[in-house]
Structure 1
């Protein structure tokens, strides 16, 4: 399905989200270093856990609200919330104020708002795209997002270090623009029968909302296949999230300089911090170039082999990072790591859309994103863990969790095949 044939909702979102993501990735990869310098590695890990725990609640609430109040409304509200959060962060990071703890609170608010946005945006794709085209559409959105991962960190290495508040202020301003654009141009994609169901419940006591939400998520948790899918994803996200958490700290502390190219007495070298920016950009470039190609390649294989293979490549990639000391060694490691990412990007989203009943689509996508929100909640513990037991043991543990994720995927597909039979 070509982009020119897409629903107008998707075209508008694609352009807006790509622009925002470029700004976001200008500062996001450097936040672990920023907070570690401000609070120390131990406290940074704990604070990031608390921040992401709040996002877990927001993500579940976002899925419920997307199914009850509409995809468009939740996306607009979330964008305004992100604008406020990044605005607070920008003020706190300015040289005239310099209050890291207030900046952290602003970042937490922006993360919470982002977790409200995601379920509604994914449900909107499923609303307006036929099932046979969803993997391709999800893959294009994923590719577009990773164009930002190529450009953003390179810009960040130039702009963010000296002027973090300017970049954060730009993020806040663009979130306002995006919210206004979506408010005026998007049309609501919430199916009519779900909207009617919500209208029939207006006037009910507020606690009925909570009771209904808990009942619906209990139903999701009772779906054994889906539950195993989420648990495996949480384990694998421990590996994936380290690209922005443990890896920058590891490179900053362990790589004094890395040579890209040398000729006679001339050397092109990078510091550990600069190397991290290049590695993240390489990841984004590989994703941008090969997402659609790898997604089409994966369609030739059963989901079982795709999911398990991706998990094992994650284990190999994270283990390789700890063994490398040169630029080209880290480039090989990020290539393996990125292949794991590409193998599962589109197919996993399509897998969720097939499992989800129409009337609970937003909640299934919200619950599926617990792979990332719960994973992101636990993942920052790798930073203090590396201080306690060392980087080698920490990377080894992460590789082991990825292998365990592959085992859970195998169990999940055994249940899935049994149900299908």
Structure 2
């Protein structure tokens, strides 16, 4: 389905979300370092465990409201909250106000996303949805390539200007949503009114999480995923702390006696941009390469690459060595991405698929809650100790995946 044939709703969102995502990657990777420098790494590590909780609440709220009052109003609400929080962050002179603004930005994004995703499903026939979502993912990852390299300069030297730019872009996107994007909520989905419907949505979502404790296979799958995600999530948590504090400034290239020198902050920006570039270039080919692999083997390979690759970062601080290791742990993330959705959609019984997919969101939520422990411990533990802890998480996930597929072979269908 060519972009020129897309509905205007999708075209506006593709441009707006791609621009916003680039700005997002100009500040988000450096937030942990920013709060760590101001409040201490142990405090920053604790603080970074809180936003995922607000993100989960925001997703539940956004999803409930999207079916109750429509996609467009919820998208406007989420974008408005983000714009206001960016302005607050830009004007703030207190690190605690900065932190509140940071949480507010994440909450706004969490409210926005379910409605945005639902709008795609409303507008696009099932046979074209995968291609549409892949296009959005590619556009967002292009922002992840450019954003960190630019953010390494702008966030630390022109932070206020960067935040005001984010607020302005969000405002322009907000105006575009208001004037161009039309409502897509099917009339058959609208609620009958009353506050109980919203309460019922939350109760049903929480009830869905209880599936984890009734289904042993799903419980092991969820635990394995949580431990597997901890190493992958270090790219935005401990990796900037390590690179900025322990990797010296060095030359990227040297020619005719001249060299392109990069500071520690810029090195991290380049590594993060390289990670995004690898994702954009290889997500489709890698998916095809491993199409014939068993899910068990792909999950284990992913955990092994992510864990060993992250651990190997601490063995040498040469920039080209770091680029090489980035390839290893990035491929650990890439090979995992398509398999997680295929496993859960195939395992879940048809009558309870929504509950299983809802419960599956606990993997990244709990993973994001646990992953910042590395930043918290970095005030007392040497880097190789932190990298060893990350490697242990990966090995635990491998053991759980091995156990999972022993059970799954014996019980190929989900229990009712």
Match of 1:379 among 371, 377, 381: 371
Match of 1:165 among 160, 172, 176: 160
The Cα of 1:103 is off from its aligned counterpart by 0.8
Distance 1:12 1:206 in 2: 29
Distance 2:325 2:375 in 1: 20
2:387 alignment counterpart: 395
1:420 is paired with a residue of what secondary structure? coil
Distance 2:405 2:136 in 1: 27
Which segment drifts farther, 372-381 or 55-64?
55-64
1:28 alignment counterpart: 28
The 5-angstrom pairing of residues 13-412 of structure 1 reads 13-92=13-92, 98-125=93-120, 135-188=130-183, 190=185, 193=188, 195-196=189-190, 198-199=191-192, 202=194, 204=196, 208=200, 210-219=202-211, 222=214, 224-263=216-255, 265-352=257-344, 367-412=359-404
Q: Residues 166 and 267 of structure 1: is their aligned pair in 2 closer, same or farther, counting only changes over 3 Å? A: closer
The Cα of 1:72 is off from its aligned counterpart by 4.0
Distance 2:146 2:258 in 1: 27
The Cα of 1:8 is off from its aligned counterpart by 5.2
Distance 1:25 1:230 in 2: 28
The Cα of 1:128 is off from its aligned counterpart by 5.3
Deviations 1:365-413 (A, max 9, x none): 5543333232222222211212222111111111221232233334444
Structure 2 unaligned regions, length at least 5: none
Structure 1 unaligned regions, length at least 5: 93-97
Which segment drifts farther, 403-412 or 275-284?
403-412
The Cα of 1:334 is off from its aligned counterpart by 0.5
Which segment drifts farther, 180-189 or 279-288?
180-189
Distance 2:320 2:176 in 1: 43
The Cα of 1:102 is off from its aligned counterpart by 0.6
Q: What TM-score do you get using the length of structure 1 for normalisation?
A: 0.85
Q: Residues 58 and 412 of structure 1: is their aligned pair in 2 closer, same or farther, counting only changes over 3 Å? A: farther
2:261 is paired with a residue of what secondary structure? strand
Distance 2:301 2:82 in 1: 36
In 1, are the aligned partners of 2:79 and 2:170 still within 8 Å (CA)?
yes
Q: Residues 117 and 349 of structure 1: is their aligned pair in 2 closer, same or farther, counting only changes over 3 Å? A: farther
Distance 1:344 1:414 in 2: 19
Q: Residues 350 and 125 of structure 1: is their aligned pair in 2 closer, same or farther, counting only changes over 3 Å? A: farther
Distance 1:45 1:291 in 2: 31
The Cα of 1:182 is off from its aligned counterpart by 3.1
In 2, are the aligned partners of 1:38 and 1:100 still within 8 Å (CA)?
yes
Deviations 1:278-315 (A, max 9, x none): 11111111112222222233333333333332222111
The Cα of 1:91 is off from its aligned counterpart by 1.1
Deviations 1:317-363 (A, max 9, x none): 11111112201110011111111122122343454555678898776
The Cα of 1:416 is off from its aligned counterpart by 4.7
Which segment drifts farther, 66-75 or 16-25?
66-75
Q: Residues 322 and 238 of structure 1: is their aligned pair in 2 closer, same or farther, counting only changes over 3 Å? A: same
In 2, are the aligned partners of 1:136 and 1:346 still within 8 Å (CA)?
no
1:101 is paired with a residue of what secondary structure? helix
Distance 1:345 1:300 in 2: 15
1:161 is paired with a residue of what secondary structure? helix
Which segment drifts farther, 23-32 or 356-365?
356-365
The Cα of 1:80 is off from its aligned counterpart by 1.6
* RMSD (Å), alpha carbons: 3.1
The Cα of 1:268 is off from its aligned counterpart by 3.4
In 2, are the aligned partners of 1:91 and 1:165 still within 8 Å (CA)?
yes
Distance 1:412 1:62 in 2: 33
Q: Residues 204 and 21 of structure 1: is their aligned pair in 2 closer, same or farther, counting only changes over 3 Å? A: closer
Q: What TM-score do you get using the length of structure 2 for normalisation?
A: 0.86
In 1, are the aligned partners of 2:211 and 2:356 still within 8 Å (CA)?
no
The Cα of 1:84 is off from its aligned counterpart by 1.8
1:95 alignment counterpart: none
Relative contact order, CA 8 A, sep 6+: which one is greater?
1
Number of residue pairs the alignment of both structures matches: 413
Q: Residues 120 and 395 of structure 1: is their aligned pair in 2 closer, same or farther, counting only changes over 3 Å? A: farther
